[in-house]
Amino acid sequence: MKTQLIEKILQGDVRAAGRLMRDIEDETPDAIEELKSIYPYTGRAHIIGVTGPPGVGKSTLIDALITSFRRESMTVGVIAIDPTSIFTGGALLGDRVRMQKHSTDQGVFIRSLAARGWTGGLSKATTSMIHVMDAMNKDIILVETVGAGQAEIDILRIADTTILVLTPGMGDAIQMMKAGILEGADIFVINKADKDGAENLKMELQVMLEVKGKLRGEWEPGIILAEAVYGKGIEELVREILRHREFLTSSGELEKRRRERAKLELTTAIESSLKSYINDRIDNHCLEKLLNDLVQKKTNPYSAALGIINRSIKLD
Ligand SMILES: Nc1nc2c(ncn2[C@@H]2O[C@H](COP(=O)(O)OP(=O)(O)OP(=O)(O)O)[C@@H](O)[C@H]2O)c(=O)[nH]1
Ligand SMILES: [Mg+2]
């Protein structure tokens, strides 16, 4: 059943979408019901992941991309995921200020998501946020993640097109990056090309991609030099994004990626449903006894867990 809130979200209402996003962040039971209702209206937007080490200019690049997409009359959603705010508390504000010139544009919707404390992992929360923006009928959804740790690998599974942003002088850093992101990225941007060493980095990347066979595969990732802060290289990047989108559709790769994503969402949903199902049925008395047995080594956590699961299922 479509509630009033869902109707409003489908019409692109910013306040309604904001409310659902808050419910998602707070992981309220309502959020699940509402996500169920909007699911049929998702799957239309092109999802672009923008990742890379801290400070390379991801937000500045996204800001410039918004301007370009809007010029083509495309509507844009932005989700800035911010693991660094745990330490600084200020990065979110920085992004907001940077993208503020779009804040009065009805065709642009920007939201930040703090990456801390998510029981279902980053991908679950991000995917839910993407669904909301998708249902709002945004043509393009840009997701900014700082390329550090697991989040940068997760983005590959969430996005249709992943852009890895680097800056000159990063040759050594590349050697240390997780192999997955270099292999998985669809487009490389060398931002801050106004600084020395951009061409060098481009050559290093080319060699690396050749070694990995990426330049002989079906999709050859472009390497684009950009100066986001001066708007340089942005048109080329937009063309490359659209070229990738065309490739995804014509090669059948889009279908494949979306199936993989559906699988990821399904397994995540199974895990969290099972977890709350079991938690709801755990008998405290029984739990105390099991804990005693564990401490006294009369049983082990693996057998005890299976016992709890079996007992919960038999109860129904
Ligand atoms: N010289 C130069 N500076 C740039 C360029 N693009 C962005 N910057 C500057 O780099 C700094 C960081 O830019 P951001 O867009 O915040 O970078 P970010 O990757 O989003 O940073 P985090 O979200 O903190 O990881 C800012 O001071 C920008 O003005 C560029 O092309 N050339
Ligand atoms: Mg940023």
pTM of the shown model: 0.88
Look at residues 69, 65, 70, 77 and name the one whose alpha carbon lies nearest to residue 21: 77
* Ligand 1 atom at minimal distance to the Cα of residue 91: 24
User: Exposed (0-12), middle (13-18) or buried (19+): which is 11, by Cβ within 10 Å?
Assistant: exposed
Question: How many other CB atoms are found less than 10 A from the CB of residue 275?
Answer: 12
Instruction: Record the tokens describing residue 63, joined without a space.
Output: 């800001």
Any atom of ligand 1 within 6 Å of the Cβ of 90: no
8 A C-beta contact, residue 238 and residue 141: no
Q: How is residue 233 written in tokens?
A: 């290289």
Closest atom of ligand 1 to CA, residue 227? 31
Q: Stretch 213-229: mean pLDDT, rounded?
A: 86
| Sheet (strand 140-146) strand order | 108-114, 76-82, 140-146, 46-52, 161-166, 187-190, 222-225
Distance of CA 83 to the CA centre of its chain: 12
pLDDT digits (tens, 9 = 90+) for 130-157: 999 999 999 999 999 876 555 567 788 8
Query: For residue 192, how far is its CA from the centre of ligand 1 (angstroms)?
Result: 8
Question: What does the pLDDT read at residue 88?
Answer: 39
Gap between the Cα atoms of 230 and 145, Å rounded: 22
- DSSP letters along 103-150, please? TT-TTEEEEEEE-TT-TTHHHHHHHHHHHHHHHTT-SEEEEEEE-STH
> Would you put residue 174 in left (φ > 0), alpha (ψ -120 to 50) or beta?
alpha
Q: Residue 90: is its pLDDT beyond 50?
A: no
Least confident of 13-22, 56-65, 116-125, 210-219: 116-125
Pocket probe for ligand 1: among 50, 51, 59, the residue whose CB has the most ligand atoms within 8 Å is 59
Q: Does the CB atom of residue 192 touch ligand 1 within 6 A?
A: yes
Nearest-atom number in ligand 1 for the CA of 195 is: 1
Q: Could you give the CA distance from residue 73 to residue 283 in angstroms, rounded to a whole number?
A: 57
Q: Give pLDDT, residue 87.
A: 39
How much is the mean pLDDT over the chain?
86
pLDDT bracket for residue 109 (50, 70, 90) = very high
Angle at CA of residue 123, ends 121 and 125, nearest 5°: 75
Q: Using CA of residue 177, residue 182, residue 187, residue 190, what is the dihedral sign? A: positive
Residue whose tokens read 């693996």: 302
Contact 237, 226 (CB under 8 A): yes
